[in-house]
Amino acid sequence: MAQNIKLMILGGVRENGKNMYAVQVNDEIFIMDAGLKYPDSSLLGIDVVIPNLDFFKEYGDRIAGIFLTHGHADSIGALPYILRYYDIPVFGSKLTVELAKIAVQRENKHRKNDLFHIIDADTEIDFKNATVSFFSTTHSVPDSLGIDISTQEGEIVYTGDFKFDPSAKQGYKTDFVRLSEISKKGVLALLADSTNAEAVFPNDQQTSIEKYILETFQNHDGRIVAVAKASNINRVQEIFTAAYKTGRKVFLTGRDIGRIVYTAMKLGYLDVPKGLLAHGKDLKKIPADELVILETGRMGEPLKSLQKMATNRHRMIKIKKGDLVFIATTPSHSVETMVAQTSDMVYRAGGTVKQLGLDRHTSGHATGRDLQLLIDTLRPKFLVPVIGEYRLLEIQENLAIQAGMDRHNIFITKNGDTLALEKGRFYLSDPVPGEDIMIDGSGIGDVGNIVLRDREVLSDDGIFIAAVTIDRKKKKIVAKPLVSTRGFVYIKANHALMDGSVEVIKEAINNNFNNKRFDWTELKQDVRNAVEKYLYKETGRRPVVLPVVMEVNQNRHRAMVKRNAAKDNLKQTKDSHDKKHRPNKKVTIKLKKAES
């Protein structure tokens, strides 16, 4: 009997990051990666974005496990929020699991680690309806793995982030023999990384990158501020090696770098010569030409920390004349503007900037040529481009067609899509939750489009506050309305505008009293609408209008209730005291006197 197979796209397509995909085989679901993405400039105040957790609420009893390909935030970043509510087994390589534990414990300090299971490229896990195995891939973090889910209908392969590099060192090498073995079994569907699909030139070999970083350090006489992602273990190692060979010490700054570096050192993934790392207390003693500051920022975002250094807002480091800021990571297209702005700040502070990505073709992701080689090796029946923005998915589709695939066997999906296998072909089926969940502080999903819209308006036009006290029974305004504003106009220079708004508020309230049955919501809405129209007519801007309407009689009534309640309590206390300490006869006489 044919198996019921579905491919579910939970995140990671038509966007940069937030990778999470699911394969359902009969009544078992296998989750592949659980990542986050960093917000763009339109998501004001949002820390990170994760896939919709409603999927786990609906399908949690069928999920066999979460299988991780590597330890970057775009693959493990959503785990802290998932494991906060759901006890689901998590599988990954030794380093991946340790990085995942760091991420989980950062958000959930008391979370136990009994859900994590360490696997490697030789591991096979037999479940009721499928077998899950793994294969080594090349990426910027060691022990990266691809995932192979073996079903009766064929192999379903997910690459995770990968590239091909023959010069890769041990721990970073792709297992081509294993890929060939998977191909022989027959690949039903391939979910392949699209992030670098539009790259025209091949990635520089790792030995070339190492030589370039070393020459950069040798050719600068002053202090070097190296900027990289903490989880890019390969780049961190190259910076350590170059610093050691040029007689420099390295000071680590950033929220995550310390734990990640010491974890990688403990597991043997980082070679750190003795005495290389400097302590904060020794910074003033180390000559500038003997120091490298490695900045990794918060949650893998080093550019914001670099901006603080350039504007003298960083808690420890300030960019000064003679500093070289070496951006040792290749930024995505979505943050290129931010890189340019940051570089400008560095130059204003007296430093200079050098970007690895401008001088070398380097990426942790497959080029178009790599993707064609992968497709030619695995020969999948169906292809689902994943991990990338929309144009990248289409570019991979075109590359696959050039490699000989049938266009009708390639699916460009969106988050929430489900592809169901029926009679040997995949068709779009019932969707699954695929919307974004926005994280602001400790809140999960409590910021939606309405809140973001208000934040956008506040950032553009500010807020206008109108406070007024009314007497509802007498239908009149008790005191002149008070108006104030923040981020809208300078009050002292706009007296006419503020006085005019007061008259508009009075008119709106009087119209409401005369023409409508009293309702708090309607009254506030009338004030809001009237003020918004007036301010737009006078200024052409639309600030957030916040009406504050108070009722004088209501407060008086509440005060009377409180006073009466206090009198009753006092009387009851006195009666209780009298009954306890005096004869009943005296009490009775006293009460009669009080009544007369």
Residue with tokens 């998915």: 393
Interatomic CA distance for residues 512 and 533, integer angstroms: 17
Binding region for substrate? 361-365
Strand partners, 385: 192
Helix (H, G, I), strand (E, B) or coil at 3: coil
Question: Quick check: 29 and 46 in contact, CB under 8 A?
Answer: no
Question: Quick check: 56 and 85 in contact, CB under 8 A?
Answer: yes
Question: Quick check: 481 and 547 in contact, CB under 8 A?
Answer: no
Helix (H, G, I), strand (E, B) or coil at 167: coil
Interatomic CA distance for residues 258 and 62, integer angstroms: 38
State how far the alpha carbon of 78 is from the alpha carbons of 83, 89, 373, 453, 587, in Å. Answer: 9, 14, 31, 25, 72
Give the dihedral sign, CA 302/304/308/310: positive
Interatomic CA distance for residues 66 and 89, integer angstroms: 6
Structure token digits, residue 246: 């040029």
Structure token digits, residue 105: 């414990």
State how far the alpha carbon of 184 is from the alpha carbons of 155, 159, 194, 377, 384, in Å. Answer: 10, 17, 24, 10, 20
Interatomic CA distance for residues 528 and 400, integer angstroms: 56
Interatomic CA distance for residues 452 and 397, integer angstroms: 35
Phi/psi at 343 (nearest 5 deg)? -60, -40
Q: For 375-391, what is the HEC assignment? A: HHHHCCCEEEEECECHH
CA dihedral 71, 62, 10, 67 (to 10 degrees): 20
Binding region? 361-365
